[in-house]
């Protein structure tokens, strides 16, 4: 028996048709993240606060699913995702290994397929304050405010960044200042100066796209790639058209960047 945490808004759909394979696991495989139902109620629901921190809308519910013992799953610690170090084991073996750990916090099971409605055992309410945030044992340590760690829109995030500004990822300069740096860089412009300005622009949700679009023709491929990463997450009109043009860029790194931002948008 495993538990999958999801928004309460998905409960009816899960009852009707199961759990979609929308998450990406090791190697880009689509599937469903879950965790074994352990004797400890807190450990079973340990991922709840961390999932809520990343913007799951509304209350969360616990979906209990029953998998065949021989169903192959990926097992590992969340930190192993980036190292392709997760193990492929039967579901029964995954439960045995996690149950035997002295500290199973941060471990996860990935089912490389969708979960059918017949495999859903029950859907129940879940405690909204169970589990850890950021990482196990993070309580009492200074939070990191770098661009990679912070979550946009999180409660108190702005005050935290103002109180603990990161030396490299602090509040970005105003767009007018960044555009001034780009203008001073000349034509076609120093790549180092342009990349630094684009890095700051990438921390915004919207930006002055018309004033940056000319960088799509910069002779340095790293600048064109930096432009993709900077504007790929913007909601500004015209971003899709700009990415369409860069999707056929002669440099493979630029083309891969376009594919990556489109997959995450």
Length of the chain: 265
Phi, psi at residue 49, to the nearest 5°? -65, -35
Burial-class residue 118 by CB neighbours within 10 Å (0-12, 13-18, 19+): exposed
* pLDDT score for 121: 95
Average pLDDT over residues 133-144: 74
**What is the model's pLDDT at position 124?**
93
Residue 265: pLDDT band (50, 70, 90) is: low
More confident residue, 28 or 214: 214
Does 82 score more than 60 pLDDT? no
- 246 within 8 A of 216, measured Cβ to Cβ: yes
pLDDT for the residue numbered 163: 83
- DSSP code, position 68: -
Q: In whole angstroms, what is the distance from residue 75 CA to residue 140 CA? A: 29
Cα gap 146→233, rounded to integer Å: 18
Closest CA to 203 of 179, 225, 181, 173: 173
Q: Is the pLDDT of residue 71 over 80?
A: yes
Q: pLDDT of 19-41, one tens digit each?
A: 999 888 777 789 999 999 999 99
Rounded to the nearest integer, the mean pLDDT of the chain is 88
**pLDDT for the residue numbered 164:** 81
Give the angle subtended at the CA of 247 by the CAs of 243 and 253, to the nearest 5°.
110
Asked if the model's pLDDT at residue 133 lies above 90, the reply is no
pLDDT at 110: 95
């Amino acid at each position: 028996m495993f538990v999958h945490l999801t928004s309460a808004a998905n409960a009816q759909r899960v009852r009707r048709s199961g759990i979609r394979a929308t998450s990406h696991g090791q190697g880009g495989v689509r599937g469903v993240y879950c965790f074994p139902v352990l004797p400890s109620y807190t450990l079973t629901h340990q991922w709840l606060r961390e999932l809520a921190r990343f913007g799951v809308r509304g209350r969360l519910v616990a979906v209990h699913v029953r998998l065949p013992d021989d169903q192959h799953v990926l097992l590992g610690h969340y930190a192993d995702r980036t190292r392709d170090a997760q193990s492929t084991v039967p579901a029964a073996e995954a439960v045995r290994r996690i149950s035997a750990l002295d500290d199973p916090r941060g471990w996860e099971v990935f089912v490389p397929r969708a979960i059918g409605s017949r495999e859903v055992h029950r859907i129940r309410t879940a405690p909204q304050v169970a589990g850890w945030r950021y990482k196990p044992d993070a309580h009492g340590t200074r939070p990191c405010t770098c661009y990679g760690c912070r979550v946009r829109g999180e409660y108190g995030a702005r005050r935290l960044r103002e109180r603990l500004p990161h030396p490299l990822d602090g509040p970005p300069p105003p767009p007018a200042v960044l555009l001034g740096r780009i203008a001073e860089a000349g034509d076609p412009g120093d790549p180092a100066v342009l990349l630094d300005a684009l890095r700051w622009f990438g921390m915004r949700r919207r930006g002055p796209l018309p004033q940056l679009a000319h960088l799509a023709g910069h002779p340095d491929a790293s600048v064109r790639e930096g432009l993709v990463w900077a504007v790929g997450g913007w909601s500004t009109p015209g971003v899709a058209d700009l990415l369409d043009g860069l999707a056929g860029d002669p440099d493979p790194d630029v083309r891969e960047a376009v594919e990556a931002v489109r997959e995450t948008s």
